[in-house]
Amino acid sequence: MKAITYHRYGPPDVLQVEDVDEPIAGGNEVLIKVRAAEATKSDCEMRRFKFAVKWFWLPLRLAVGIRRPRRRILGGYFAGEIASMGASVTDYSVGDQVFGCAGLNFGAYGEYVALPANSTIVAMPDNMSFEEAAAVPLGGLNALHFMRRARIRPGEKVLVNGAGGSIGAHAVQIAKSMGAHVTAVDSTIKEDMLRRIGSDDFIDYTKQDFAVSGQVYDAILDMVAGSSFSTCVRALNPGGRYLKANPRISDMVRSVLMNRFTNKVASFAFARESKEELIALKDMIEDGRIVSIVDKVYHMEQASDAHRRVETEQRCGAVVIAI
């Protein structure tokens, strides 16, 4: 089969398309014919092995390869069809259209990927293309996780800092579906998209600092790795919830102290990316409460261009690779 591979850490040009052995589904695995995969910021970080959050650098390097990558096919989020399955798998049928997560197994940048049958894989929404479905799991699962932890009530004011990315754009829609008044913070080029998917207010961070505007919020989802913990917390109402998606160790320590000694709540728990959550997203999509936002679709041979597009931060929505 053909796959997008990389044999060393580095810039987008280390990606190449080559022939590799097709995986075989074991007894409790499913073999998925991949139709589309999202090119994510995580893929880019793994490719060059540079991360916005530094503290897990060493354990991750030990896990995935010190001098060069052990797993040479990236891709954690995908849509495709069940091609075959192991003898003990009963939950799927050949031809089922599915979407989901490969987790740290990666492999979705290949024409086929074999995954445990209990992975976060569910039936695709019936009102989406493969490309649209592949753009959902990363952003949708993480956004749903944080919005549920925020316990948003109708009428509350929610701010999403870094709303134009995959997670932020889904968070805007999910918060709106929960009845919140949503303020999106991002750059000028993303305003039209964010208003189109439901943002009530928009703040251009290149022109205005939301934290010193005088406005306060009931919940803040902060997608920006380098933002100030204390500044964001000051923009919360009493009882407000601060959700930090890319926490530094100092943020974790301050969250514990804040939860113990103040009337505000901070959370940095990472998403479980469970089947239950993906099914909930599927239902929301089919009900029309949220939509997939695809910025651009690239062919496999254009994988380097897809990664460059992700890294420019100029995209409005997800970047998808058609496999």
Measured CA distances, 259 to 148, 254, 255 (Å): 18, 8, 6
Domain's final residue, options 252, 267, 282: 267
Query: Is the per-residue pLDDT at 3 higher than 90?
Result: yes
Residues 268-274: contacts with CB under 8 Å, at least 24 apart? 268/243, 268/244, 269/145, 269/149, 270/145, 271/141, 271/142, 271/144, 271/145, 271/146, 272/145, 273/101, 273/103, 273/120, 273/137, 273/141, 273/142, 273/145, 274/120, 274/141
Considering the chain, what percentage of its residues have pLDDT values greater than 70?
95
What one-character DSSP code corresponds to residue 178?
T
Domain count of the chain?
2
CA distance linking residue 24 with residue 80, whole number of Å: 16
Q: Are residues 157 and 195 in the same domain?
A: yes
Q: What are the pLDDT digits (tens) for 229-281?
A: 999 999 999 999 999 988 888 888 888 888 898 999 998 878 889 999 999 99
- What is the DSSP code (8-state) at residue 32? E
Same domain, 126 and 146: no
79 & 199 share domain = no
pLDDT(66) > 80: no
Task: Indicate whether 97 and 177 sit together in one domain.
Answer: no
Is residue 152 located within the same domain as residue 261? yes
| Burial class, 43, CB count within 10 angstroms (exposed 0-12 / middle 13-18 / buried 19+) | buried
Confirm whether 194 is domain-assigned.
yes
CA distances from 157 to 191, 193, 230, 302 (A): 18, 20, 19, 41
**Shared domain check, 146 and 104:** no
Whether 273 maps to a domain, the answer reads no
Which tens digits make up the pLDDT trace of 180-233? 999 999 999 999 999 999 999 999 999 999 988 889 999 999 998 888 899 999
Question: Which pTM does this prediction carry?
Answer: 0.91
Structural domain contains residue 288: no
The CATH number that applies at residue 202 is 3.90.180.10
Same domain, residue pair 113 and 207: no
- Answer for the pair 79, 98: CB distance below 8 angstroms, yes or no: yes
144 and 126 assigned to the same domain = no
Q: Are residues 127 and 28 in the same domain?
A: yes
Closest to 128 measured CA to CA, from 138, 118, 119, 136: 136
| Position with higher pLDDT, 229 vs 58 | 229
Residues 127 and 183 placed together within one structural domain of the fold: no
H/E element, 243: strand 236-244
Output the six-digit token pair for 239.
């009882």
Whether residue 72 sits in one domain with residue 19: yes
Sign of CA dihedral 212, 216, 222, 228: positive
Same structural domain, 74 and 195: no
Q: 139: pLDDT confidence band, cut at 50, 70 and 90?
A: very high
Q: Could you tell me the two tokens for 127? A: 């009102």
Question: Is residue 54's pLDDT more than 60?
Answer: no
Residue 284 lies in a domain: no
pLDDT at 250: 84
Establish if 280 belongs to a structural domain.
no
**Mean pLDDT over each residue of the chain, to the nearest integer:** 92
> Mean pLDDT lowest for which of 12-26, 207-221, 275-289?
207-221
Instruction: Report if residue 277 sits inside a domain.
Output: no
Structural domain including 244 reads 138-267
pLDDT band at 143 (very low <50, low <70, confident <90, very high): very high
Task: Establish if 229 belongs to a structural domain.
Answer: yes
Domain membership of residue 33 (yes or no) is yes
